[in-house]
């Protein structure tokens, strides 16, 4: 089953898989909620799941499907190479993590691999996970500060929004810079988005 909110991409993935003698697309869904109901009805061997979708995102849908069917095999197909997003998906129960830019070359092998019970993680993503596995995570408060900075708030505005002193916001930013290994606000936001820490 192919789950993605872009009909053209769903059709493209389906066409690639239908070319194989041993694979058949039994259903499609445009968001996580539809994916869950389609999964119940169709019981596919493998679900190809996008992450960014309306109503219910791919991580929520993966968790919901795995809660009902713990042995469900879910292959995430996304544009996001970020390690944090990948780890989140794998913790939710995904068995594989494939990037859309490697779709043409890897989708068939990835589906077969996941169906056989093996993990399939894009090499770029594996490298990012390994690179950041020992990094100290941002706290909830640091994440809140970073989200407001990403939305263009100055320190004073972020402080008012969170009910903190401006000095406290500055201290949080200092910690964020240290943890993300950056020197300024713009770079902090960029790195956080690339890694999937921030979703704006």
Per-residue pLDDT of the chain (200 residues; tens, 9 = 90+): 999 999 999 999 999 999 899 999 999 999 999 999 999 999 999 999 999 898 899 999 999 999 999 999 999 999 887 888 898 899 999 999 999 888 788 899 999 999 999 999 988 888 888 888 778 888 999 999 999 999 999 999 999 999 999 999 999 999 999 999 899 999 999 999 888 888 76
Q: Are residues 124 and 57 in the same domain?
A: yes
Domain count, the chain: 2
Among residues 92, 159, 89, 152, which one has the least CA distance to residue 122?
89
Task: Please check whether residue 52 lies inside any domain of the structure.
Answer: yes
Q: Are residues 124 and 170 in the same domain?
A: no
Pick left, alpha or beta for residue 139 (phi over 0 → left; psi -120 to 50 → alpha; otherwise beta): beta
Q: Are 197 and 143 in contact (CB under 8 A)?
A: yes
Task: Please check whether residue 200 lies inside any domain of the structure.
Answer: no
Q: How far apart, in whole angstroms, are the C-alpha atoms of residue 64 and residue 52?
A: 16
**Bridge partners (DSSP) listed for residue 97:** 76, 121
Tell me the residue range of the domain where 169 lies. 140-195
Q: Are residues 127 and 144 in the same domain?
A: no
Specify the 3-state DSSP secondary structure of 199. coil
């Amino acid at each position: 089953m192919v789950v993605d909110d872009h009909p053209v991409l769903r059709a493209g993935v389906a066409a690639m898989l239908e070319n194989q003698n041993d694979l058949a697309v039994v259903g499609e869904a445009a968001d996580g909620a539809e994916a869950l109901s389609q999964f119940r009805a169709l019981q596919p061997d493998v679900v190809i799941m996008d992450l960014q979708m309306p109503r219910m995102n791919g991580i929520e849908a993966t968790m919901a499907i795995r809660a009902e069917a713990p042995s469900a095999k879910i292959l995430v197909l996304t544009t996001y190479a970020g390690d944090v997003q990948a780890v989140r998906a794998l913790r939710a129960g995904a068995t594989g993590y494939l990037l859309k830019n490697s779709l043409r070359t890897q989708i068939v092998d990835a589906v077969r691999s996941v169906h056989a019970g093996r993990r399939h993680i894009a090499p770029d993503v594996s490298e990012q996970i390994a690179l950041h596995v020992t990094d100290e995570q941002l706290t909830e408060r640091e994440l809140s500060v970073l989200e407001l900075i990403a939305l263009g708030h100055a320190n004073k505005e972020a402080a008012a929004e969170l009910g903190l002193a401006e000095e406290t916001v500055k201290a949080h930013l200092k910690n964020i810079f240290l943890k993300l290994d950056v020197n300024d606000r713009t770079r902090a936001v960029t790195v956080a988005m690339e890694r999937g820490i921030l979703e704006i």
